Amino acid sequence: MLPVKREFTNTVLENGKKESNLTMMTENAEKATPMLANIEGLTKWFPVKRNKIFGKRTVHAVNGVSFSILKGQTIALVGESGSGKSTIARIILGLMKPTSGTIKWRDRDIFEMRADEKRQFRCEVQMVFQDPSSSLNPRKTIKNILSAPLRKHRIIGRKKLTHRVSELLSLVGIEPSYGLERYPHEFSGGQRQRIAIARAIALEPTLIVADEPVSSLDVSIQGQIINLLKGLQQEIGVNYFFITHDLALTRSIAQRVLVLYLGEIVEDGSIERIFQNPLHPYTKALMASTPVPNPRRSRKRRKVALRGEIPSPIDPPTGCFFHPRCAEAINECREVKPRLQLIDDRLVACHLK
């Protein structure tokens, strides 16, 4: 792949919003790959109720995030709880409007689509939630749950509905004769997540946003669900936007990783580059906290200190958001916000690089 020079800038507008611009300076191989979604300068701030002590305050959930989702590519968004991962997912799905920035699906702004375009968008982009127990209606049978999206979008006729639902259950490894007339509480956690995945693929989507899809499951079941997602990707050609706090999970399913910290992308690169040589101190800390099955390798691995807790998005630090927890921070980190810059075939926002 030809080298790419990218420049990422943040401009603060008069009304306090941020406008982000990610420009491609040279031709590169990505242009030959069809782009499904383009997220540019995504910012989401939530006003906090005014009180006598603090006055009016704002939660800076997402701050100028830009990236693209290419066809045939699984992207993992990695970060701690409270970093803004789920907020980004909801905005991409059109469930929440951004404060600023654009989200384009096949070159159409999702918040400016006509009714027919939005209906098609709803078919093409689906979601798998973290907790299947709360995302599946406990009062409906599995047959009714899986047939609901098919009926709403009028994909197939009534006569073929049962056959299609049985087909979906088979695809996720559940015997139709066992599962059709049962209720969600009659299944294990792993089986419920399989059913949630079956519902997500019912409309044959192009992209599935998976928000921590295995974090509520036992470790032994997590691998099965990951293998199921990979198998479905090969069988039906679906793309994934995989959200997780566990960097180790991304290695087996993703080709590209976005490392998110306090609403900002601090590193963006291929899975091979990130795992072989993480550059941002936060990425290094996440890697250091990832368990290694080989005890000898684990003892030899360099320990990276991650001090304190993630700062409040209501009152984020000046300069680099990560500097209060970074053992390598210098004065520039405390005063100047770093820009994303291309280093070693990946984008990194760090003054030390």
Q: What is the pLDDT of residues 298-331, one digit of tens each?
A: 556 666 667 778 889 998 999 999 999 998 899 9
The answer to whether residue 6 scores a pLDDT higher than 90 is no
Q: Looking at residue 295, what is its pLDDT?
A: 60
Tokens of 307: 């001090």
CA distance 127 to 120: 15
pLDDT band at 264 (very low <50, low <70, confident <90, very high): very high
Tokens of 224: 């099965």
173-216 confidence digits (pLDDT tens): 999 988 899 999 999 999 999 999 999 999 999 999 999 999 88
User: Would you list the domain boundaries of the chain?
Assistant: 6-348
The conformational region for residue 210 under phi > 0 = left, psi -120 to 50 = alpha, else beta, is: beta
Share of the chain above pLDDT 70, in %: 85
CATH 2.40.30.10 matches 6-348: no
62-81 confidence digits (pLDDT tens): 999 999 999 988 999 999 88
Q: Looking at residue 19, what is its pLDDT?
A: 41
Scanning the chain, the segments in alpha helix (DSSP H) are 85-92, 115-124, 132-135, 142-152, 161-171, 176-179, 189-200, 219-236, 247-250, 271-276, 281-288, 295-300, 331-335
The amino acid present at 236, given as its one-letter code, is I
Q: Looking at residue 157, what is its pLDDT?
A: 76
The answer to whether residue 30 scores a pLDDT higher than 60 is no
Give the three-state DSSP class for 35. Answer: strand
Q: Looking at residue 251, what is its pLDDT?
A: 87
Listed range (22-26, 178-182, 256-260, 345-349) with the worst mean pLDDT: 22-26
Number of Cβ within a 10 Å radius of residue 336: 12
